Amino acid sequence: MAKVVLITGANKGIGFEVARQLGRAGFTILLGARDASRGEAAAAKLRAEGSDVRPVIADLDRAHETATALAGQIQKEFGHLDVLINNAGAFDLTGGDGPASTVSIDAMKRTFDTNFFGTVEFTQPLLPLLRAAESARILNVSSGLGSVGLNNDSASPFYAVKPLGYNASKAALNMFTVNLAWELRDTKVKVNSICPGYTATDLNNNTGTQTIEEGAVAIVRFAQQPDDSPTGGFFHKDGTYSW
């Protein structure tokens, strides 16, 4: 039986490419999108390539509602969930996010609502399905900008990049990874933070230096990690990051 993966924010960008690659690897893809028509359009493209893809509503602005509905749907059809990829994220492109002395509090709250609170709230109703899997994975798509160590390292390429809302929200997401991994330490559920790298997507107005394919590498790899792989870590395609 094919493994089942749910990917949020999968109708475009890195999420879509991850869906494409895991579909080619034989996974059944639950392609999460906030908008039903966009989700169906994205799913149709991947079905045309031969993948088993079902569009589903995954809206972090209505995280508990949509995750609870999805949990019921997945339970009825599959009885378990093998992989959850929390890919959906937000970065304030209006200029509200910025340095600690001037950042807009409203911009910070909006960013946290998606990148942290929404992700936690979306994950919780799905945990029984992940526990029910023979071997499950939770991947929280983070960023090197969420590393406190790299933010304070003058030799780091991230050193001068200080949008407080985004960086702090990803640091909080990393703490969720560590705490949930600890809680699930005696189960077959692995929980890790994954940094895709600075990839050209809508999130950064396509200013990233990596291709979408490069951005998907680590996520696709860890979605398929063996049972003896680590949990509670912070990884990118070329290695690990400090917290």
- Please state whether 179 falls in left (phi above 0), alpha (psi between -120 and 50) or beta: alpha
Residue 160 vs residues 155, 166, 167, 200: alpha-carbon distances, Å:
10, 14, 12, 19
**Catalytic (active site) residue 166:** yes
Q: Are 58 and 8 in contact (CB under 8 A)?
A: yes
DSSP 54-94: EEEE--GGGHHHHHHHHHHHHHHHTS--SEEEE------TT
Kindly calculate the radius of gyration of the chain based on its CA atoms and give it in whole angstroms.
Answer: 17
Among the listed residues 3, 76, 166, 190, the single catalytic one is 166
User: What is the spatial order of strands in the sheet that 136-141 belongs to?
Assistant: 52-57, 28-33, 4-7, 83-86, 136-141, 189-194, 234-236, 239-240
Neighbours of 124 (CB within 10 A): 15
Number of residues that make up the chain: 243
* Distance in angstroms (rounded) separating the CA atoms of residues 122 and 189: 17
Among the listed residues 3, 76, 170, 188, the single catalytic one is 170
* Distance in angstroms (rounded) separating the CA atoms of residues 96 and 106: 8
Q: Are 124 and 67 in contact (CB under 8 A)?
A: yes
In angstroms, the first-to-last Cα distance of the chain is: 37
| Residues noted as catalytic | 166, 170
